[in-house]
Structures are given as structure tokens and as C-alpha cells.
Chains A and B, each alone.
Chain A
Amino acid sequence: MNKWGYVGKRLLKTIPIIIGVTLVTFLILHLSPGDPVRIMLGPYATPETVAALRAQYGLDQPLPLQYFSWLGNIAQGDLGTSIRYNRPVTELVQARIGITLTLTLAGLVISVTLGSILGILAALKQNSWLDYLCTFQAMFWISIPGFWLAILLLYIFGLQLRWVPIAGLSGFASVILPALTIGLQEEAWFARPMRAEMLGVLNEGYIKAARAKGVRYYRVVGKHALRNVMVPMITMLALRLPWVIAGSVVVEVVFAWGGMGSLLVNSVLARDYPVVQGILLIIALSVVLANLLADLVYSLIDPRIRVEGGKK
């Protein structure tokens, strides 16, 4: 049917994007200064040792060749071997990805829920104290740096009130503060557009028409208006995903969680190419995937997108 044609087209479009993503991930690292082999061996290594190690990791080959062999390995699920840990990257990532995923998802759930509710309330009570309060708190969370907010929350709820564990991972309670840090920081990005979109939609003729039928106002908002703001809000969600992941990298380090974030930071410092590449690739691909999902969800929500076969 029409719907599947759209899905197929959209899938085809992601292929060049994925190729681009792998190319950029590869080049960023190989063109940046700093030699991992020298860092590993220290300043007193002989040129022979350096050359030998370089050959072992395939770093002496021309760039295009390195790229294609890397790509070939990825296709087989092999992200290479960490220079520093001397273990497969997939193994390192597997051990940590759950932590990062939990944090990112928990942060997203908090920010989207909180942001949507505040945005809708602000729109319904436009120019009231509630509306101003909503604007103010959004600006507040956006303006303070993530690591600082993390430390502040830690200090208040961990050290002073002792409601939650201070660091490390121990069950549900330890997820609260890190997730809240991300949630609060990101919430503003959903509350503001939600308010604006809602105000626009509430002015539409179909809202008045639905009310003229006698449909209760809360139902008009919950059904007619909400569904119409969902398309732009899902766009926002897909747009913010990379930032949420970046935020979780910072938060993870502050809370001393051994997730992908800490692994990434340490690997960058150590010039551990394969690990950095692997993680960047995973993040980039998850963003591409999220955008693909978002597009498919639009077409479920908005019948006009299915027909035109493209975005509005």
C-alpha cells in the first residue's frame, strides 16, 4: 500500500546518510593530530618499534584502504581492537552500553513528560503567572552548565539530605539524580516549543469547530490539539537526541558511572582510535535511526505525509 511505499523510500534515503556518517567518523580521527602509537610507547621508543606496532594495527596503510577494511570489519560486527585495553571494542562497549542507554532514556522520558506538561499548561494559561514561571524555569535550567547542576543536585540530595546514593550504580535510587540532571536541562527544549505550537494550534479553526460541536475543552486539547502538535514535537525529540547523549556523557563522568561516556572521554585522551571510532559510530547511527523512526511516526500521525511521500 501507499504507506509501505513511503517506508521503503525513506529507508533508501538513509543509505547515503549512513555512508556519510561512517566516512566522517573515520576521517575526523585520522586527520586529527596526535599519534596513538607514540602515546602508547612513550617518548623513548625506537623508530623500529613504532613502525612495527603501526603495521600491527594497519596504521601504515593508505587512508582509503584503512577506511574500506574498517568498513568491512564493521559489516561483520567487528569494531576493531582497543589499543589501550587490547580487547575488542564491541566487548568494551557491550559492558557499558546498558548504563548509557538507561541514562539517556530516563533523561528523555523525564524531559519530554515534564516539558510537554509545562508547555501545555503555559499555553492554556497564556500570560498567567504559571506561564511566566514556566518560561523562567526553562531559562534557568538551560543557562546553568550540566556538570554544575549535577554537582548541585548531588550536594543537596546526596550529601545534605542523604536521599540517594552519592556515586556509582546501585539500583533505581542511583538513577534518579543523573536522570534528573539530564531531564531538567533538556526539559526546556520541549516546554518552549510545546507552548508555541500549542498556542498556534489552539487558534486553528478546527479547534473552534470541535468546541462548537460541544466537545469538552479538555478533550479538544487532549485529542484535536495534542495530536496536531505531535509532529513538530517528535521532530524536536529527534533533534535533541544527540544533545541528550552528549549530556549523559558529562553526567556519567560526574556521577562516576562507568558507562560509554567515561569510556569515550578516556579513549579520546588516550587516542585510542578504534574505541573512539566505534563509540562515535554507534552514537551517530543511533541518531540516524532515531530520525528514521521519527519520520515513520510522522506518517502514522499525519495522513498528508503519506500521500505526498515527503515531509510537510
Chain B
Amino acid sequence: MRIEDLQVAFSTEEGPVEALDGVELTIHQGTFHGLIGETGCGKSVTGQTIMGLLDNNARIKKGRIMYREQDLLKLSSRQMERQIRGNEIAMIFQDPGSSLNPLFTIKNQIEEAIKMYRPVPRERREGLILEALQQVKLPDARNLMHRYPHQLSGGMKQRVMIAMMLACNPRLLIADEPTTALDVSIQAQFIKVLKDLKDNLDLTILYITHDLAVISELCDYVSVMYAGRIVENLSMYDLFRDPCHPYTEKLVNSVLGVSTRLDQLEEIPGSVPRLINPPPGCRFHPRCSEVLPVCSQEVPLLKEVKGLHSVACHRR
């Protein structure tokens, strides 16, 4: 999948919010691709745009999302529904609590995914549902599937969501902070589950998170996002060895320090810019320690450093 120059704006009462401003991103088949950035930088919006499930007040101003030789943004909503969502690309949304319908059992909701893409007789469906739940290491799946969402904990719901989306059997799974509601030990277990999946299925994942530690364990490639733009694409190896963008450097350094969570990060001075009226030029320039005069004038474009490593910064 290749995302090119994607621009998305939301119309709000305070004016237009330029949530994505030229996102460039390539996800290679069979890899786990991390998307990292501070809160509000547009990670979830990127995922929702790929799915064609943006909120009503959103407008895609520009760009292409190339997936298997076709531009997803050019497909009709009917084509997205029949051909793409579910069996090609599925997404786990950020808020697991509200992603399950409170009025239907877990079984009913997973079955819905299976019915559509795997024409198996009714008797075998139950087996597939069990399998899906066991895949994410949910205990006592046989009883659990007859329960309703409100009878499960946040972590369990999150795992049910993952099971449900995996049951669609997608080629690409977009996972938007799938571990936020899990405690640390379960998180570790969960990452192991994903790693197993990676070895066993031909699955590509776009993994959205704040958490560099999770990404470093799981991903092959990383895209660093800042205020609606991708500032650096690089491999996991380069992330710790050779980060180029000042923002990426700060991120990595802060992780190597005490705090491992980006949302607790204090090392980078200043705050996340508001996207309603973003700083001109490089959006990071008010916080950058290496700022040049040109930085507030011109938007830095992504430039190749070597191979698959690219960075958007006037200094490099």
C-alpha cells in the first residue's frame, strides 16, 4: 500500500482543521509497520481514511491511496464495502469499549464477520469463532462467546475486537492503539500473540501507537508523524541507530531515558501545535533545537536518505 500526498480536513465550528497535510507512507506486504506520533497528530485519521470511514465533517482534499493497483479513494462506497473492507483491510479502532454493540453477544458479532467471507456451514462456524477467540488467548472462550460486551473487562473487549477483525481474514490489519486498555503483563502476552500471527499468517499490519517500546518489539518499519505530516520513514534498525529528523531523535532519546511512553514525554519543549492554525513551514520549527531561517518559510519535503529511509527536514 502506498499513500501519496494525502490531505484531509475537518470542518468545525472554529474553522477548518487540516488534520492530514500531505501524508506519504508506504507499507510493504508482509511487514509490520508502526505509525508513531504524539496525541492529535492524525494517526487515527490516517487509518480511518484508508478504511473510507471518516466522520461526516471530513473532506479528502487531495491524494491517492494505492492498494493492489487501484486507488482506494476513487472507489465508490459500494465498492469499498464489497471489495475492500473486512476481507482486504480491517481496522481495530482506538476505543474498544464502544466498538462492540452492547445488544448482541460476542458470538453473534464475530459470526457476522465470518459469515461474509468464509462460506462454511453453520456447524463449523462455531469452531471458527472459538478458534478466533483462542487465537488472542482469551480464556474460557466457549462460555465467553455467549456473553454480552458489558460483561467483559476493557482488556477482554480489546481482544475480542482483535479476534473479530482477524476473523474477517484481512490482508492488511490497521490496529489503532490496540494495547491501551491492557495491563502490562497482558500487553506482553498480546504482543507475543501478534508475533505468532506474523509468523503463521501472511498478514500486514499498520500498528498505530504512542508507545515506542511496543513498536520496537513488533515492527519492521516505522513512520514518525508530527502534526498531520510524516516527518520520517525508516526501518526499525535505523530508528535507534540513525534517526535523522530532530523530532525522531528526541523521541528515541526520551525512550532510552526514563519514560517509555510518548504521552508522558517532557524532553521535547513546547506543546503539540493545534491543527486549526498550524505553524507555517516545518510544523516542528517552534520546538526544534536546530531550527534554520528557512524552516518557518518552506515546508520540508520527504527526501530519501538511503533505500527506504526518508526524512522531511531542511537540515538533512
Contacts and interface: CB of A to CB of B under 8 A. Distances in A.
A48 interface: no
B113 A209 contact: no
Interface string A206-236: 1011111111110000001001100000000
Interface stretch (A271-279, A285-293, A298-306): A298-306
Nearest to A224: B101
Contact of B103 (A205, A213, A301): A301
Contacts of B148: 303-304
A307 interface: yes
A248 to B, nearest CB: 33
Given A209-B93, A304-B150, A214 B86 contact: yes
A301 B51 CA distance: 31
Contacts of A302: 102-103
Given A209-B100, A213-B165, A307 B81 contact: no
Nearest to B96: A205
A287 to B, nearest CB: 27
B4 interface: no
Nearest to A227: B103
B204 to A, nearest CB: 16
Contact of A212 (B77, B93, B95, B103): B93
Most A Cβ at <10 Å: residue of B53, B90, B103: B103
B112 interface: yes
Among A126, A215, A304, the most chain B Cβ lie within 10 Å of the Cβ of A215
B87 interface: yes
B51 A204 contact: no
A69 to B, nearest CB: 49
| Dominant SS among interface residues on chain A | helix
B189 interface: no
B169 to A, nearest CB: 11
A168 B53 CA distance: 56
A309 to B, nearest CB: 14
Contacts of A303: 102-103, 148, 150
Nearest to A308: B150
Given A205-B93, A304-B148, A214 B117 contact: yes
Contacts of A211: 53, 81, 85
B87 A206 contact: no
A210 B101 CA distance: 9
A90 to B, nearest CB: 42
B299 interface: no
Contacts of B85: 211-214
A213 B112 contact: yes
A213 B113 CA distance: 6
Contacts of A217: 77, 81
Nearest to B102: A304
Contact of A208 (B53, B77, B151, B168): B53
A210 B108 CA distance: 12
Given A205-B93, A304-B150, A212 B53 contact: yes
A298 to B, nearest CB: 11
Nearest to A216: B81
A212 B51 contact: yes
A214 B81 contact: yes
Nearest to B84: A214
Contact of B101 (A206, A214, A307): A206
B103 A209 contact: no
B164 A213 contact: yes
B83 to A, nearest CB: 9
22 contacts: A126-B56, A204-B98, A205-B98, A206-B98, A208-B99, A209-B164, A210-B101, A211-B81, A212-B53, A212-B91, A212-B165, A213-B113, A214-B82, A214-B85, A214-B116, A215-B112, A217-B81, A227-B103, A301-B103, A303-B102, A303-B103, A307-B150
Given A126-B56, A214-B168, 9 more contacts: A205-B98, A210-B101, A212-B91, A213-B164, A214-B117, A227-B103, A301-B103, A303-B150, A304-B150
Interface of A: 126, 204-206, 208-217, 224, 227-228, 301-304, 307
Interface of B: 51, 53, 56, 77, 81-82, 84-87, 90-91, 93, 95, 97-104, 109, 112-113, 116-117, 148, 150-151, 161, 164-165, 168
